[in-house]
A and B are shown apart, each in its own frame.
Chain A
């Protein structure tokens, strides 16, 4: 694959703690494509933060390799590794800005490390702060800024060395929903306009939904699911994925009244929810009972699933199924869970 930017092969990471081996990552295989926004989701302690730190070798994998732009990071000399890291910028949950430097000086910092001449660095820092919408806060110190502003400074700082990858470690987890949306919008813009590949680590499904192309679900140290966001969202195979997608309970796994047949309808974004059900009751002359529904908007399209209870009339059931097939709505019969 030529458009691959990061490849992770058979990666294992174990920590030693008081003579006990703790497996943080177990046989991870991943390929991240150039220019995509790749999400890694999992609950706390699943190993996702360790995984992102293995990608830029802040944590050295116990086994396996990380190949970044055709270079095996494990085989690089210390100096080359430090250089490679400049192409893989990182932003954090706690922003990690230098508290004794103002916004402009913070953005200049990675360029200082990389040896960019001062005047040039300052000019670029000003441009970048403009890009993230902070042209009026250049001389503000982190203590004088809000969480959203601090993350914007962190993003500008991350971009200063022209990275090809931006690693985001729970970058929006400390922010309120509004600010989160703004930061995600900014990341999307960076991805589209600058062509920077973005890897997002999060425990929030809504982050994945709103900007990621592909997602890996990580649980108990290994990847349990991997694919296009829409596919994983519509057909979550693992229990953990269902839990993350439907934090308040999965429609498909809910208990249904015994003796009555139920259908699980899947909406994949090509049809809207409401008209389908209203039309169904009208056209099939049958009443259905909506037992559970989970609907969300992914990339601006309505997707989700709904469980309906079928009427006892067999003819009506047949009419419903024919109607659904006709409309191209995927469904499956669900029995008692």
Chain B
């Protein structure tokens, strides 16, 4: 009994020590920064990734506006950007960041780097989801006199919605996985916290707590998108 109490109090002391260097509000700030950076990058990347994904899909063989040349060129561009390691891409596009964001370091610049890296990835995810839509449904829409734009907005995307939502969860987790690199260019977030305190100041507890918070964030997003995908999918008869 007594030993258990002593053990517990010593644990409490240890936990208190952790918060001496990094306070709860530090964790909260880092959590919010990571979530913000990830969400903003994801949203902007989707704005560009959706049209690119639709273009990749539509120009492929036997689709709405097949064009082998455009499809090949876009495919190569996407593959090139996806092949370059993020950290190298980040350095390579610094001049562009300067031009668009005005800075090459900090959170805003980091959002730009993340967005550029995520667009090709998102485009591929979208393309894959769209390919799952039954060809017959598109043909039916064409037989009703629907043009390509209406087919994209009213058939392709709504029909692929469950798959797109699940894809979004993967995209979010992947982008989140890149956020620690923000540390390298003076950005914030849980990853930066983990590296700064956990790695460089020999405080592994900070690393663990940051990681656990990241895990929780991924879990929440995965569950939320999964739930949304299941809840709105009308193919599952209830």
Q: Is B155 an interface residue (CB 8 A)?
A: yes
Q: Which residues of the partner chain A approach B233 to less than 8 Å between Cβ atoms?
A: 100
Kindly provide the distance from the CB of B137 to the nearest chain A CB, expressed in whole angstroms: 5
What are the residues of chain B within 8 A of A82 when measuring CB–CB? 145-147
Please tell me which one of the listed residues A84, A85, A112, A141 contacts residue B234 in the complex, with CB atoms under 8 A apart. Answer: A141
Roughly how many angstroms separate A83 CA and B143 CA in the complex, as a whole number? Answer: 10
Q: Which A residue sits closest to B161, measured CB to CB?
A: A100
Are A86 and B145 in contact, with the CB atoms below 8 A? yes
Instruction: Indicate if B150 sits at the interface (CB-CB under 8 A).
Output: yes
Which residue of chain A lies nearest to B142 when distances are taken between CB atoms in the complex? Answer: A58
The answer, yes or no, to whether B136 is at the interface (CB within 8 Å) is yes
| Contact assessment for B136 and A113 in the assembled complex, using a CB-CB cutoff below 8 Å | no
Contacts of A90 in B (CB 8 A): 140, 143-144
Q: Which chain B residue has the least Cβ–Cβ distance from A93? A: B136
Q: Chain B, 114-156, contact with A by CB distance < 8 Å: what is the 0/1 string?
A: 0000000000000000000010110111111111001000110
Is residue A94 contacting chain B, with contact meaning CB distance below 8 A? yes
Flag whether A262 is at the interface (Cβ < 8 A): no
**CB pair A112 B154 closer than 8 Å:** yes
Question: Is the beta-carbon distance between A101 and B234 smaller than 8 angstroms?
Answer: yes
A143 contacts the other chain (Cβ, under 8 Å)? yes
Q: Is A68 an interface residue (CB 8 A)?
A: no
B window 197-213: CB within 8 A of A = none
Q: Is the CB of A99 within 8 A of B140?
A: no
Interface residues of chain B: helix, strand, loop or mixed (majority): helix
Asked whether A100 lies within 8 Å of B139 as measured between CB atoms, the reply is no
- Nearest-neighbour CB distance to chain A for B141, whole angstroms, equals 7
- Indicate if A44 sits at the interface (CB-CB under 8 A): no
Question: Is B20 positioned at the interface, with any CB of A under 8 Å from its CB?
Answer: no
> Is B144 touching A161 in the complex (CB atoms < 8 A)?
yes
Q: Smallest Cβ distance from A91 to chain B, in angstroms?
A: 9
B144 touches A86 (CB 8 A): yes
Report A77-98 CB contacts with B as 1/0, cut-off 8 Å: 0100111111011101010111
Q: Is B159 within 8 A of A98, CB to CB? A: yes
Contact (Cβ within 8 A) B137 A98: yes
Check A143–B139 contact: CB distance below 8 A. Answer: no
Q: How far is the CB of A112 from chain B (nearest CB, A)?
A: 7
Q: Are B137 and A83 in contact (CB under 8 A)?
A: no
The verdict on A110 contacting chain B, using a C-beta distance below 8 Å, is yes
SS class of chain A's interface: helix, strand, loop or mixed?
Answer: mixed
> How far apart are the CA atoms of A36 and B145 in the complex, in Å?
24
Tell me whether B236 is interfacial, beta carbon within 8 Å. yes
Q: Give Cα distance in the complex from A178 to B141, angstroms.
A: 29
Q: A113-B144, A113-B145, A113-B150 are in contact. Are A96 and B139 (CB under 8 A)?
A: yes
Which residues of chain A have C-beta atoms less than 8 A from B158's C-beta? 98, 100-101
Whether, in the assembled complex, B235 has its beta carbon less than 8 Å from a beta carbon of chain A, the answer is: yes
Q: What is the chain B residue whose CB lies nearest that of A88?
A: B143
Give A114-151 as 1s and 0s: 1 = Cβ < 8 Å from B's Cβ atoms: 10000000000000000000000000011110000000
The answer to the question of A172 belonging to the interface, with a C-beta cut-off of 8 Å to chain B, is no
Q: Which A residues are CB-close (under 8 A) to B232?
A: 100
Smallest distance from the beta carbon of A120 to chain B beta carbons, Å? 17
Residues on A with beta carbons closer than 8 Å to the beta carbon of B83: none
Chain A hits for B3, CB < 8 A: none
B residues within 8 A CB of A202? Answer: none
A191 an interface residue at 8 Å Cβ cutoff? no
Closest to B236 in A: A143
Given A100-B233, A141-B237, A94–B144 Cβ distance below 8 Å? Answer: no
Q: Contacts A86-B144, A86-B145, A90-B143 given: A144-B237 contact, CB under 8 Å?
A: yes
The interface residues of chain B lying within 8 Å CB-to-CB of A89 are 143-144
A143: B residues at CB distance < 8 A: 234-237
Interface residues of A in 53-86 (CB under 8 A from B): 56, 58, 78, 81-86
Q: Is the CB of B235 within 8 A of A113?
A: no
Q: What is the bound-complex CA distance between A78 and B232, given in angstroms? A: 35
**Most chain A beta-carbon contacts within 10 A, residue among B140, B233, B235:** B140
C-alpha gap A101/B137 in the complex (Å): 12
B residues near A98, Cβ cutoff 8 Å: 137, 155, 158-159
Q: Mark A198-237, 1 if CB is under 8 A from B, else 0.
A: 0000000000000000000000000000000000000000
Residues of A within 8 A of B145 (CB): 81-86, 110, 113-114, 161
Nearest CB of chain B from residue A117's CB, rounded to whole Å: 16
Q: A143-B235, A144-B237 are in contact. Are A100 and B143 (CB under 8 A)?
A: no
Given contacts A83-B145, A99-B159, A100-B158, contact A92 B235 (CB under 8 A): no
Q: CA A76 – CA B134 in complex, angstroms?
A: 28
What separation, in Å, do the CA atoms of A56 and B142 have in the docked complex?
A: 10
How many Å lie between the Cα of A170 and that of B235 in the bound state?
A: 24
A-chain residues with CB within 8 Å of residue B147 when the two chains form the complex: 78, 82
5 new A-B pairs (CB below 8 Å) besides A85-B144, A113-B146?
A82-B145, A88-B143, A90-B140, A97-B140, A114-B144
What would be 14 A-B contacts, judged by CB atoms less than 8 Å apart?
Answer: A58-B142, A58-B143, A82-B145, A82-B147, A92-B139, A97-B137, A98-B158, A98-B159, A99-B159, A109-B144, A141-B235, A142-B235, A143-B234, A161-B145
Question: Top 6 nearest A-B pairs by Cβ distance?
Answer: A96-B140, A85-B145, A82-B145, A90-B143, A96-B136, A110-B144
